[in-house]
């Protein structure tokens, strides 16, 4: 757990740097996804992942605000964990964008895993929904890192 906390703390400095720039464009496919995915029930593991990620995003938001920045990281409202075969073991960190529309889009970070693991991560994250991140009260796109252990 210390590694994840440290990793996400390091992400804050990258997040702060991204806030100074305009957000990357997000594909039209991601923007057109249905917003009803969050009505589906989440498993116990998915709820635990959502709670842990939101706690870390909230801590980073408070840290940014304590330094005078009016930034709010996304609040996840629905996650689906990747369906990876039980005989596979490893970890991957996917670089994603939490969009101003409330979706999450994986951009990179899956090159080092097998095609079936990458496909499972992409499929699962395509269903995620969040309260959009904001800067000065305006919804924005920001980069976030998503750690997965399997």
Q: Return phi, psi of residue 36, to 5°.
A: -90, 0
Express each pLDDT in 107-118 by its tens digit: 988 888 888 899
What confidence category does residue 88 fall into, taking pLDDT thresholds of 50, 70 and 90?
A: confident
Q: How far is CA 128 from CA 3, 68, 69, 75, 118, in A?
A: 24, 30, 26, 11, 16
**Rounded CA separation 133/131 (Å):** 7
Whole-number pLDDT of residue 7: 41
Express each pLDDT in 3-37 by its tens digit: 333 344 434 444 443 443 344 444 433 443 444 44
Q: Which residues contact 95 (CB under 8 A, 6 or more apart)?
A: 106, 107, 108, 109, 143, 144, 145, 146
Whole-number pLDDT of residue 72: 93
> For the whole prediction, is pTM greater than 0.85?
no
Whole-number pLDDT of residue 96: 95
Q: Return phi, psi of residue 64, to 5°.
A: -60, -45
Hey, what are 137's tokens? 């009260």
Express each pLDDT in 48-86 by its tens digit: 999 999 999 999 999 999 999 999 999 999 999 999 988
Residue 134 pLDDT > 90: yes
Q: How far is CA 103 from CA 11, 13, 23, 36, 86, in A?
A: 19, 22, 14, 11, 28
């Amino acid at each position: 757990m210390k590694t994840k906390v440290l990793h996400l703390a390091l992400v804050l400095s990258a997040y702060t740097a991204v806030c100074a720039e305009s957000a990357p464009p997000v594909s039209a496919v991601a923007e057109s996804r249905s917003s009803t995915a969050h009505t589906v029930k989440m498993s116990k593991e998915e709820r635990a992942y959502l709670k842990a990620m939101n706690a870390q995003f909230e801590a980073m938001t408070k840290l940014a605000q304590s330094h005078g920045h009016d930034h709010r990281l996304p609040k996840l409202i629905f996650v689906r964990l990747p369906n990876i075969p039980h005989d596979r073991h490893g970890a991957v960190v996917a670089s994603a964008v939490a969009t101003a529309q409330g979706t999450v889009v994986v951009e990179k970070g899956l090159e080092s895993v097998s095609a079936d693991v990458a496909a499972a991560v992409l499929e699962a994250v395509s269903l995620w929904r969040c309260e959009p991140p904001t800067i000065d009260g305006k919804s924005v796109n920001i980069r976030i890192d998503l750690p997965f252990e399997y």
